[in-house]
Amino acid sequence: MDTSFEEQLIIADERIELETALRLSAEQAQSFAKLAAYHDEVRLAQEEEDLHLAIRLRRRLAQGQQDEDKVVNRVITDSFDEHDAFTAEEDKRRRREMLHEYYAQQTVVDAAANVFGGARPVPRAFRASASAHASCFARPRV
C-alpha cells in the first residue's frame, strides 16, 4: 500500500470521527438544551403549582379566620342575649314582686278600712307628700 493512500485513509477516518463527534456534540448540545428547557418548564410549572397551593391555603386560612370570627361573635352575641334575657326575667320578677307587695298592702289597707268602718287610709307611697298637702287629706273621701 501506498503511504499517501494510507495517510489519506487515516485523514478520512479522522475526518469521519471528527464529523461524527461534531454531530454527536451538536445532538448532545440539542439534547442538553431540550433538557434544560424541560427542566425550566418543570420548575416553572412547580412554582405555578406552589403559588396556586399557597393562594388556596391563604384563602382557606382567611375563611377559617372569618369562620372563627363568626363563632366568637356568635358566642359573644349569645352571651349578651342570655344576659339580656336574664336581666329582663329579673326585671319581670321584681315588677311582679313590687305589684304583689303593692296589692298586698292595698288589700291590708282596704281590709283595715272595712274592719274599722272608717275612711280608707292613704297608701304608703303618698304618705310622705301628705304633710305638704294636709288640707287635701283633711277632707273626708267620697
The Cα 42–Cα 36 span in angstroms is 10
- Angle at CA 56, nearest 5°, toward 50 and 58? 100
**Mean pLDDT of all residues in 54-81:** 88
Q: Which residues have C-beta within 8 Å of that of residue 138, sequence separation ≥ 6?
A: none
How many CA atoms lie less than 13 Å away from 63 in the CB half-sphere? 6
And the C-alpha cell for 38? Answer: 424541560
- Angle at CA 119, nearest 5°, toward 116 and 121? 95
Q: Please report, in angstroms and rounded to a whole number, the separation of the first and last CA atoms in the chain.
A: 164
Q: What is the pLDDT of residue 102?
A: 84
Percent of the chain's residues with pLDDT above 90: 18
Q: Is the pLDDT of residue 49 over 80?
A: yes
Per residue in 74-83, pLDDT tens?
A: 888 888 888 8
Confidence of residue 5 (pLDDT cuts 50, 70, 90): confident
**Cβ neighbours around 137 below 10 Å, total:** 16
**Mean pLDDT of all residues in 30-48:** 89
Q: Is the pLDDT of residue 48 over 70?
A: yes
* pTM, 2 dp: 0.36
Residue 19's domain spans which residues? 3-138
Number of domains forming the structure of the chain: 1
Confidence of residue 36 (pLDDT cuts 50, 70, 90): confident
Q: Which residues have C-beta within 8 Å of that of residue 123, sequence separation ≥ 6?
A: 105, 106, 109
